[in-house]
Amino acid sequence: MILDPRECLARLTSTGTPPDAETALRISVGLDERISRFRNETLPFIAAGGAELQFVFAPYGRGKTHLLKALQETAHQSNFVSAYVDCATGRSPFASLRTTYSQIATSLNPPLASKESSSGVGGIRELVRVALANAGSQNVGEFLEKLTSDARLSTGYRNLVASYARTVWSESAPDPGWKRSELRDQLGAMMNASTSVQSNMSRLYKEWPTLHRPIAKIGKRNAAAWVRSVAALPVALGFPGLVILFDETEKTHSMKKLTFLARQEHLANLRNLVDHLATGAFRGCAIFYAVVEEFLDIARAQLEALSQRVERIRLGGDPTGS
C-alpha cells in the first residue's frame, strides 16, 4: 500500500522512521550506491547459494532502520523473502538459539507479488501458503516430494514443514474434516517454536498416520540446526533466497537489559553465527544486523573473539561502518 505523501511526512515527523519498506525505498536519498550493490551483487550472490553477514554500526537516529527497510523492499522486488526483526521489544535476538529461530520464523514475509493473497496468519505459515499457491494444485505432490528430500533442511524440520503444507493443501478438499484445522494449528505452533500449544507426537501419529516422519520439536540440542534450516527454507520452497534484517532501534542496545551471563550467551551465539556463515553452513541467505555503536564496546569488554570478527579498520568517513 502506497501512503499519501503527506501521511508519510507526518509519520516521519512523529517517529523519525518511514512507515513501511516501500516508502523507505521510495524516499531514500544518498543510498543509491549501497542499494545498487545490494540489488546487483548481494542478491545474485545469495541466489547462487552464497551467504553474507553485514553489521551496520551507527549512532541512534542516523538512519539504520531506513536503510534496512529500503533493503527489504529491494529484496521483495526481486522476489526474495525477508524477515525484519525489531529488537526494540527488550528481547535480545540472540539470547538463545530458540529465540533467534522464533524471531526469524514469525517475521518471515513473502515478496510483494504475494501480498494480495495474504491470509493474515503471517510468518512461516504465510510463507508456506504462498509457496503452495505458487506451486499450483496440479504440482503439490511434486512440491512436497522436493521439500521432503531437500538436504539443506534437517530431517525432522523439513518433515514438520511438509506435514503443515500437506495439511493446509488438504483443507481445500471438499470434506477436510473439522480436526484438520486443529492439526494445522498444532503444526503451525511447532514451526513457530511456540509454547502456547502443547503437541503430543505419539497421539498425532496415531490420529494422522499419513504425517511425514520423523517430525521434530525445537530444543537445545537441535536449535542450531533449526536456525540453519529456517534460513534455507525459502529456497527449499522455491524462492531465490532470504534476507534477514535485525534492527536495534533503541538508544541503548538490548543487551544492556540483560545480566552479565545472559549478555555472554548472546555474544557467544552471535559469534557462532558469524563462524557458521564463514564456513558455509548457511546458504541462500543474507543477514544484516543494525546496532548502535556501544555494541562494539560490549563485545570488546565481554567477548574479544566476537569483536575481532566484526570490527573493521575505518580509513574513510563511512558513518555506518557496514
Tell me the three-class secondary structure of 171-198, residue by residue.
CCCCCCCCHHHHHHHHHHHHHCCCCCCC
Select from 76, 38, 66, 46 the least CA-distant residue to 319. Answer: 66
The answer to whether 93 and 71 have CB atoms below 8 angstroms apart is: no
Give CA torsion, residues 319, 244, 279, 298, to 10 deg: 50
Q: How confident is the model at residue 117 (pLDDT cuts 50, 70, 90)?
A: very low
Cell matching residue 263: 549478555
Q: Is the pLDDT of residue 322 over 50?
A: no
pLDDT band for 10, please (50, 70, 90 cuts): low
- Number of Cβ within a 10 Å radius of residue 60: 14
- Find residue 243's DSSP bridge partners: 82, 286
Return the SS3 of 248.
coil
**Per-residue confidence (pLDDT) for residue 310, from 0 to 100:** 76
Q: Is the pLDDT of residue 61 over 80?
A: no
Distance, in Å, from the CA atom of 161 to the CA atom of 112, rounded to the nearest integer, reads: 22
User: What per-residue confidence (pLDDT) applies to 145?
Assistant: 92
Share of the chain above pLDDT 90, in %: 41
Range list for CATH 3.40.50.300 in the chain: 5-114+223-232+239-310
Distance CA 278, CA 281 (A): 8
> CATH homologous superfamily of domain 5-114+223-232+239-310?
P-loop containing nucleotide triphosphate hydrolases (3.40.50.300)
Most confident listed range (4-8, 66-70, 257-261, 280-284): 280-284
Long-range contacts of 136-142 (CB under 8 A, 24+ apart): 137/169, 137/172, 140/169
Compute the average pLDDT of residues 151-179.
82
Phi and psi angles of residue 254, each rounded to the nearest 5 degrees, phi first: -60, -25
pLDDT for residue 1 is more than 90: no
How many helices (DSSP H) and strands (DSSP E) are in the chain?
15, 5
Q: Which residues of 213-248 are buried (b: 16+ CB within 10 A; e: fewer)?
A: eebbebeeebbbbbbbbbbbbbbbbebbbbbbbbbb
Mean pLDDT, range 240-252, rounded to an integer: 84
Distance from C-alpha of 186 to C-alpha of 218, rounded to nearest angstrom: 14
CA distance 61 to 111: 28
Q: What is the pTM of this model?
A: 0.84
pLDDT at 11: 56
More confident residue, 229 or 174: 229
C-alpha cell at 99: 529465540
